[in-house]
Amino acid sequence: MRVWRLTQKRHAKNAFSGIGNRKVGSRWVPEGYLAVYTSENISLAVLEILVHMDVAHLGDNYMLIAVEIPDDMGIDEIDVASLPDDWRDRYEDRELQSVGLEWLEGASSAILRVPSAVVISEQNYIINPIHPDFEKLKISQPMPYQFDGRLNI
């Protein structure tokens, strides 16, 4: 399976360190913990950036990185049915973050499949960069990503 990470050029060298989440936290993992967010396809990775950015700041300073996950690697999953009805409206919420924290601390896998709040039928994949299985991932060289100029909302 292949997943994608879209990141600013200045962060490309450290895109899989998890430092970004440690500094600011996220929907599924609290601040202070290393975690790397990826998406099941490029278009979802783009949308996940767009919901957090002013499109005027996109420019040509992004890099796209593919990650190959071995077929035999275990992946844990969040069951949407187990989440509160309003989970998509919550961000940096302790209840949701406890799910990711429990996964990180349990260390049952290097990857956690989570639902996207942006596109409900699609998935993001959180990678634990300090899990022993992290080394089994094949991370490609970053390639420039240019946002379409029509995104001038």
Q: What is the pLDDT of residues 42-97, one digit of tens each?
A: 999 999 999 887 766 677 789 999 999 999 999 999 999 999 999 999 987 899 99
Report the chain's mean pLDDT, rounded to a whole number: 93
Encoded tokens for 51: 């919901």
∠23-111-146 over CA atoms, to 5°? 65
Give the contacts of 109 (CB within 8 A, at least 6 positions apart). 73, 74, 75, 76, 103, 128, 131, 133
Give the pLDDT confidence score for residue 55 in this predicted structure.
Answer: 66
Confidence of residue 142 (pLDDT cuts 50, 70, 90): very high
Encoded tokens for 49: 């950036």
Encoded tokens for 103: 């996964």
Give the pLDDT confidence score for residue 60 in this predicted structure.
Answer: 79
Cα 125 to Cα 3: distance, rounded to the nearest angstrom? 8
Cα 10 to Cα 96: distance, rounded to the nearest angstrom? 29
Give the pLDDT confidence score for residue 59 in this predicted structure.
Answer: 73
Amino acid at the residue 72: D
Owner of token pair 């309003």: 86
DSSP-based three-state secondary structure for 77: strand
Give the pLDDT confidence score for residue 69 in this predicted structure.
Answer: 98
82 - beta bridge partners? Answer: none
